[in-house]
Structures are given as C-alpha cells and as structure tokens.
Amino acid sequence: MHLIYVDSEGPVAATYTEQLAERAVLSLRAAKPGKRIWRRQAPVEDVERYKVEVLLTPADTRVCDQWEVRLKDGKLEARQREQTLAGLAMRGGHVTGEIVWGFGRHRGEAEQFLWKAKKEGPQEPTIPFRLEDLVI
C-alpha cells in the first residue's frame, strides 16, 4: 500500500497501487499549491493506525470542492471550505441541536444531504469499521 501525506497534516489517504498514489499526489499538489505533498510505501498496519481513507479508483483522485451548508433558525448558509480529492470529501448530513448540517462535493449535493438529515432527524452515531474485527 501507499500512504499519501500533506505537509503538516500527516497522512491523509492511502492507495493499493503506485499509479493511483502518484495520480493522487499530483491532484493534491494542484488543489493545495504551496504545500509539500508526498507518498511512501507502507504496510496495512500503518493505514489502519492512521485511519485514512483508501482511494480505490481514478475518480477518487479527482480534485473537487468541499462544500458545507447549515440551516440555523430557518436561515440557510453555504460556504466552500477547500479543494480536496473526491475520495476524501466529506459527504453526508447530520443534526446537532437546532442546527442541521450538510456536506458534499458541490453545493447542490451538500444541500441534498442537509434536507435529508432534517427530514430524518438526529441519528445514532455509527461505529467505524475496524480491520481487527474481521481478522481471524
């Protein structure tokens, strides 16, 4: 496996192949000019320890915008947070108290997640997947 690092953020993603890792590095350099970005080969244990997203396809390495929308007191606010890789973009929605949040790769997607979260209401948190649970 290959771990991908961004400047002082540390490892942000992993890939199974060298070609996909190189593509992710080039895309991140375009999305985050001025930041040092590199990759290294790493064992699966490192990927699990850092809990990074594994990029599986070339589509995951596309540069996209990370959008955040929130609904508070009937007022909808939206902002573009940063540019990132499609496979790293937060996607989904949730409710915290009186605020409803939505996140997506573009504003329309973020708003769809927001309205879905508003309709469904607060949800129980999900337990993250752990590789140790599957290893026998």
Distance of CA 135 to the CA centre of its chain: 26
> Could you read off the pLDDT of 3-33 as tens digits, one per residue?
999 998 899 999 999 999 999 999 999 999 9
Q: State the average pLDDT for the chain.
A: 90
Beta-carbon contacts of residue 43 (< 8 Å; ≥ 6 apart)? 1
Alpha helical stretches, state H, the chain: 18-31, 44-50, 107-120
Task: Tell me if the pTM is above 0.85.
Answer: no
Residue 98: pLDDT band (50, 70, 90) is confident
| % the chain with pLDDT above 70 | 90
Neighbouring CB atoms inside 10 A of 76's CB total: 13
Residue 136 in this model has a pLDDT that exceeds 60: no
Q: Stretch 77-99: mean pLDDT, rounded?
A: 91
| Matching residue, tokens 């929308």 | 69
